[in-house]
Structure 1
């Protein structure tokens, strides 16, 4: 599992072109909600070892987060072939994350 948030985010066109299943996570390393969600995300991803997981550092003026309408962290966007299937905002448990991963796997 990727542990650090990307400083340089991919473009929306790049994200839209990604094939297969992707968990796109928006947040920051200093966000308490984000840090608290990491074990739950890791637990859910154990059943999907090949899943693309991209952690994007978000904030004011970051175009990728704005293009997805991100307001709170962490926001997990579940993509299949670059298209959003579902999302979770501030997940409190691994089960909803695992269910969402199952929808895109």
Structure 2
């Protein structure tokens, strides 16, 4: 699945995220956050070639239950999931390489 450019209009329920099959990156942030905007080209570039990884972009903020369930404090926060379980997490990634390393951990052969 390719890079997702826009935040989901409705955030998924935690139970939906926990039930995901396969690899996924759950991105928490907002469209107006400077750190989030700066991370977009890094994430888009890193996801290229990882079509099997689902990218779910969720707008976060006060009172948003999904972000609170993942204890998100800063944006963007990238949660790397395999079969609904957290494998890795990056907060305010500053480089494509660190995103690539986290994506590599989604591969079951990396265990």
Range class of TM-score, shorter chain: over 0.9
Calculate the aligned-residue CA RMSD, in Å: 0.7
SS in 1 for 2:93: coil
Runs of 4+ in 1 over 6 A off after TM superposition: none
| Offset from partner CA, 1:19-58 (integer Å, 9 cap, x none) | 0000000000010100000000011101202210000000
How many residues are treated as equivalent by the alignment?
105
What is the CA–CA distance in structure 1 between the aligned matches of 2:49 and 2:100, rounded to whole Å? Answer: 8
Q: What TM-score, normalized by structure 1, do the two folds share?
A: 0.97
Residues 24 and 81 of structure 2 are in contact (CA less than 8 Å); yes or no, is this contact kept in structure 1? yes
Residue segments in structure 2 that go unaligned for 5+ positions in a row: none
| Offset from partner CA, 1:53-91 (integer Å, 9 cap, x none) | 000000000000000000000000000000001100000
| Offset from partner CA, 1:83-105 (integer Å, 9 cap, x none) | 00110000000001011011113
Partner of 1:62: 64
Residue segments in structure 1 that go unaligned for 5+ positions in a row: none
What is the correspondence of 1:1-105 to structure 2 with a 5 Å cutoff?
1-105=3-107
